[in-house]
Structure 1
């Protein structure tokens, strides 16, 4: 007779892991217990013959529940205690090891089948879930993951659900904390724009009818509100854009199922697998012509598609005429997704005509994740529902905990504890108090969950002196007399890519918008060596002027005017600009063009890939106003589809500097010739090639590529043309853009031994 105490970490709470352990122990006739502990880990005590214990352990490692992920299994030999049976014990609060909080999971096929079965007691029940699916992170208040620690505690189980909860033979519902049914679970209801009840037999069917008639309906889902409307009606979409103050930024579309999704987007087997995965992200795909209003994604040939990921969404879509709808984040422009009913009525009443609500409280707001393909590989753009807050392991434990606050756009925060980096869900752009408070709220949840007190953690920030994200860390630094660690923006990008591979000394390419550089200028097209000794700038794009500062980032024709002014002088530049019709690309016309030239002497400069691509998009008349982050560059990439490479000399370099300013000047004078689509393709391809050549000349073989433009397929093809595809690493678990920066900040601080 032997006894083992086994501690398991990973995604092991809230995924049916304890019932699974119970059934395994019973299978092998073992005695003892399984128990959730206070660090989200699970403790197992098993007693029995050694051969049976070994078989149990083998099955434990190899036959995990569908949604579970085992990160570490630690076995300790102990003295037998003489247990007479095996039991699931009430959760404990003791923390022996930290473990992962499960993300939210899309509805499984079994639950959906029961929702659609008229003979099932869950028929048309919008909140059905089981061991394999349903909300987790969005409803948890604290660990361990038990019903009383979630917002489901307000819905006591009815006798039928209690019976299934206590039945070891019920694989999907035995000891599953989030289960419910129409008799004991949350309820859905419909109100109008003033909050007055709309009394109907089926609120979901009525909401679908209202949408089909042209209404905009705010729908409370898993992690927050969506704004739902027809995706085929120009008038409805025009109204939504006017109300939401969102002139061109693409809307996501939710489809009932894969069959419906194929009507609006081009799907291969890989796309189908991602769309139907438990994470159920938005996936950006080529759209089927004529399937959607052009106002869904103006100027683009792609569309962001997701599948219905809850019973509520499925029932709503199935009752509409099209079986797919625009389903965009429910928020005021620039603010976080709304999660509370009262806030939704207060802030969305000027946008939505009706509100489809429910009475289950959302604890942690979590927006939809966004994914795309870059040169055939899956890349995250926004990491949130379905992925957060899963951690990334480190090669060895940190010396002290750390807390990083990201940058400005697409913000996240991160903490490091033991040998893990845990990143928040997507926060958003830190341009208002609401988003700033959301960052604090998300970090507080992680600190509380993983037992990190304010003064335990080393505060880490972006080097930009005016980012609002710094304030969170600065307050901790002042409160606890902790040194503030600053990490340069693009170093953090490269470090985030290195983190996934546990690389400790590497060359990286950062192709990005802007970040505060060591010389006080805006960087963004960089070749960097990053490692334990710090970092070195090996090369970069040439600096281009940004006359008027931020205004040049919104109207990139200003960059073209500035380049012409620097290269040819202001008088000649005005003639060249007018010959290219640049005054027509500026809101102030010729007057703004001349003012731009006057501002040239005080203009900041940028080595930014994003600003260069914006300028090219404006010069080719593809896109000349940024109404959302990355718009001209995104439009340029799509415009270049079908373009051809026209030579290798359009974009040159001198030593470690890619001559982007020279290219723009020659483009304006007509020296650069070719079909605009070919020019668009070639300049993006050569941008990647030239940066890769600098990296290769530094002696690098494997190169880590990150930054907001690292998702650009044409640029990546250019990099791979020099280094080979197997030697180019783009982040897969973190977004390459600013959504992954907070994790990169921690990894860089870790490399140079601050933490």
Structure 2
């Protein structure tokens, strides 16, 4: 008996070849009806015998396109209409916008085959794509996802592209960014003022030439500009550092193929999977030792890890195949600003950095940085969430009845908005410390609001009164709620792991405004809905000079020594960069408590110990001293740790690190290598977590905050917790650092009563 079913599918079902997949499946099963894209998802009406319709529904779920994601699947049985065929109807733009915007996707194997096939009409064409790959988030202006709603709308398709686009059996059927050399965007090579020097493939060939000559190239990619130079050329990399004002922070690298990566780095199967994934992020890989490396030390400044990605767009593939060598591929911006996305910005901002510009005429609507991940404790760890991942949502319950704007953190900012249970955590925005970043912040908020027609009912922000994100929340004329920074970290980890109660949150980072007005950062938190208990924390110390101590970390080192040894600290000669007169000034600041804010920060404790051990006494970028302390531990395999005590004070447990400093000083006097001291310190922190979990009696332990970006610490803590019968939880889909704060702020709102 003929029956009819109406199917509504929500999720990532636009821009992934879903309609042609349904068309082919329906045709194969001799099912009649139609499919249509809408701003809410995909609607299908299908008529056939009940047995065939059951097979149809089952195969939609089992055989769906590889880049699709079905979030909800509803089917309703209706009266038949007597359809004569199966057709794909024109998109609808009515109704609430719930269809998910797809991230930009790396070039698929089919398109690569065409790009490097001399007989193919898209041979060496740098904007080749299909329904399985290509730009999405960076070019879409509105929902539903149709060509007219993207920046490709201004390029009229030629007859051949139109034939592919309208053929349901072609993989370019409704591939909205589809193009070819006849009708699509083109590349040009220009000088730093915008004068066109070469066009089309000649532009790419000459871009290769200038890179090999040691020049710096600004390349317009999918989500913004990158700065490229020969990664083996010391002089070129030094010049890029000088012009970009980035003295020591490691640069990301792009290799032309996996085989060349295997020469330089140790790569396990999980890391290989990440490199070759459709997201194609930057992956942190352990650099091989004892080889004649083709990578200049200027790229990484002694860092034992390489941040490596493979080409992910046709333009990258063509350029890198011609080059055949690794390149630096760093963000196209002035340090601490968002990446440039158009020529007007690029020539102004990057004109003094790049010698040449490889540009194109496909507009980028929003900045999308390269994502950064690593494998740690056996899992993917998100360090920066952007291209390939944003703006796909996470699902969170108990927020469906309100639209919440989470304003995020001050550093490494992301924002988040929800529509129902879908939480849209934005792409990485960055540090809100300049006009450009603040403008980008506002644009990203408006972006997500516009995509999903959202009007926030409430805002949630950090407690710090001076944060830009908090001030922005003030301007919205809607109810505002403040959540403590480290509790937001814990809530973020809870949201990701779908936990709600009976957990201990270990929230460690560099800084965060505490409920008592001091700087927190070494916290043991017990959540209780929209409240929490500070069950434990690091014994406090002072930061002489305030924020200046974050760069001049020797000041923190001296503060730690002074806390333990008093004026006798002057007799310890571990802080070489600081002369006696300057140390005397710092001593007086500590004695008189002048400009020396109190902190419980784990990150600052790392900095101070890095300085005391002589590893790093001045940092040129955030967390550099702590990172270098971690790296020195790599060569030492030990289970030893320093003795420590846990005190009690006003109902909280306090980690007393004073004895650790005494033992470190004794080890240094005895000639113990700094790396072994570092390993013992890391092991001590892992033991601290275990002992705190035992004292506080929690089985589930959450590890969150920027300190757990530390590979050694995270792996050691997870291992020790598992060995002692606890259940550790970490973050994988959003960063454990401040990039994950916005998710925690949304979670906080789920506990509020309206």
TM over 0.5: yes
Matches within 5 A, 1:467-616: 467-476=467-476, 479=477, 482-505=478-501, 506-532=503-529, 534-569=531-566, 571-576=567-572, 579-580=573-574, 582=575, 584-586=576-578, 589-600=579-590, 601-602=593-594, 603-616=596-609
Q: Decide whether aligned partners of structure 1 residues 208 and 533 sit closer, same or farther in structure 2, where only a CA change above 3 A counts.
A: closer
Matches within 5 A, 1:149-168: 149-168=149-168
Report the equivalent of 2:343: 341
1:5-38 Cα shifts (integer Å, max 9, x gaps): 2111111111111111111121222222211112
1:301-351 Cα shifts (integer Å, max 9, x gaps): 11100000011011111222x421000000011100110111101110100
Structure 1, 353-362 or 705-714: larger mean CA deviation: 705-714
d(CA) in 1 for partners of 2:168 and 2:210? Answer: 44
Corresponding position: 1:30 with 2:31: yes
Q: Is the 8 A contact 1:612 1:660 kept in 2?
A: no
Aligned residue for 1:280, secondary structure, equals coil
d(CA) in 2 for partners of 1:590 and 1:48? Answer: 88
Structure 1, 94-103 or 257-266: larger mean CA deviation: 94-103
Report the equivalent of 1:690: 688
Q: Is the 8 A contact 2:413 2:432 kept in 1?
A: yes
d(CA) in 2 for partners of 1:373 and 1:84? Answer: 53
1:194-239 Cα shifts (integer Å, max 9, x gaps): 2111136610010010000010000000000000001011111111
Report the equivalent of 1:753: 752
Structure 1, 373-382 or 136-145: larger mean CA deviation: 373-382
d(CA) in 2 for partners of 1:387 and 1:108? Answer: 17
Structure 1, 323-332 or 27-36: larger mean CA deviation: 27-36
Structure 1, 390-399 or 486-495: larger mean CA deviation: 390-399
| 1:665 CA displacement | 4.7
| Aligned mate of 1:433, from 429, 432, 435 | 435
1:666-717 Cα shifts (integer Å, max 9, x gaps): 4346588533211101101211220232123222112111111112232224
Aligned residue for 1:156, secondary structure, equals coil
Q: Is the 8 A contact 1:540 1:691 kept in 2?
A: no
| 1:747 CA displacement | 0.6
Report the equivalent of 2:737: 737
Aligned residue for 2:635, secondary structure, equals coil
Report the equivalent of 2:19: 18
Report the equivalent of 2:360: 358
| 1:533 CA displacement | 5.6
d(CA) in 1 for partners of 2:462 and 2:397? Answer: 24
Q: Is the 8 A contact 1:563 1:665 kept in 2?
A: no
| Aligned mate of 2:619, from 621, 626, 629 | 626
Please, what TM-score do these two structures have when normalized by structure 2?
0.95
Structure 1, 719-728 or 635-644: larger mean CA deviation: 719-728
Unmatched 5+ stretches in structure 1? none
Q: Is the 8 A contact 2:465 2:471 kept in 1?
A: no
d(CA) in 2 for partners of 1:195 and 1:591? Answer: 52
| 1:256 CA displacement | 1.0
d(CA) in 1 for partners of 2:604 and 2:89? Answer: 58
Structure 1, 612-621 or 665-674: larger mean CA deviation: 665-674
Report the equivalent of 1:295: 298
Q: Decide whether aligned partners of structure 1 residues 408 and 365 sit closer, same or farther in structure 2, where only a CA change above 3 A counts.
A: same
Report the equivalent of 1:699: 697
| 1:563 CA displacement | 2.4
Structure 1, 336-345 or 670-679: larger mean CA deviation: 670-679
| 1:541 CA displacement | 1.4
Aligned residue for 1:732, secondary structure, equals coil
Q: Is the 8 A contact 2:530 2:748 kept in 1?
A: no
Aligned residue for 1:132, secondary structure, equals coil
Report the equivalent of 1:305: 308
Q: Is the 8 A contact 1:658 1:691 kept in 2?
A: no
Q: Is the 8 A contact 1:10 1:70 kept in 2?
A: yes
Structure 1, 41-50 or 417-426: larger mean CA deviation: 41-50
Report the equivalent of 2:181: 182
d(CA) in 2 for partners of 1:311 and 1:341? Answer: 20
| 1:47 CA displacement | 1.8
Q: Decide whether aligned partners of structure 1 residues 450 and 672 sit closer, same or farther in structure 2, where only a CA change above 3 A counts.
A: farther
Q: Is the 8 A contact 2:247 2:620 kept in 1?
A: yes
Q: Decide whether aligned partners of structure 1 residues 383 and 533 sit closer, same or farther in structure 2, where only a CA change above 3 A counts.
A: closer
Structure 1, 243-252 or 706-715: larger mean CA deviation: 706-715
d(CA) in 2 for partners of 1:45 and 1:463? Answer: 50
Aligned residue for 1:371, secondary structure, equals strand
Aligned residues: 738
Q: Decide whether aligned partners of structure 1 residues 162 and 130 sit closer, same or farther in structure 2, where only a CA change above 3 A counts.
A: same
Aligned residue for 1:144, secondary structure, equals coil
Please, what TM-score do these two structures have when normalized by structure 1?
0.95
Aligned residue for 1:199, secondary structure, equals strand
Aligned residue for 2:316, secondary structure, equals helix
d(CA) in 2 for partners of 1:89 and 1:397? Answer: 34
Q: Is the 8 A contact 2:39 2:99 kept in 1?
A: no
Corresponding position: 1:144 with 2:141: no
Matches within 5 A, 1:48-63: 48-63=48-63
1:30-86 Cα shifts (integer Å, max 9, x gaps): 2222111123x1111112221111111001111110211111111122232332222
d(CA) in 2 for partners of 1:134 and 1:110? Answer: 12
Report the equivalent of 1:636: 629
Structure 1, 524-533 or 408-417: larger mean CA deviation: 524-533
Q: Is the 8 A contact 2:220 2:358 kept in 1?
A: yes
Aligned residue for 1:568, secondary structure, equals helix
Report the equivalent of 1:283: 283
d(CA) in 1 for partners of 2:353 and 2:316? Answer: 20
d(CA) in 2 for partners of 1:717 and 1:192? Answer: 47
Report the equivalent of 2:677: 679
Matches within 5 A, 1:26-425: 26-39=27-40, 41-95=41-95, 98-170=98-170, 172-199=171-198, 202-288=202-288, 289=291, 290-320=293-323, 322-425=324-427
User: C-alpha root-mean-square deviation of aligned residues, in Å?
Assistant: 1.7
| 1:437 CA displacement | 1.0
Q: Is the 8 A contact 1:541 1:658 kept in 2?
A: yes
Q: Decide whether aligned partners of structure 1 residues 10 and 114 sit closer, same or farther in structure 2, where only a CA change above 3 A counts.
A: same
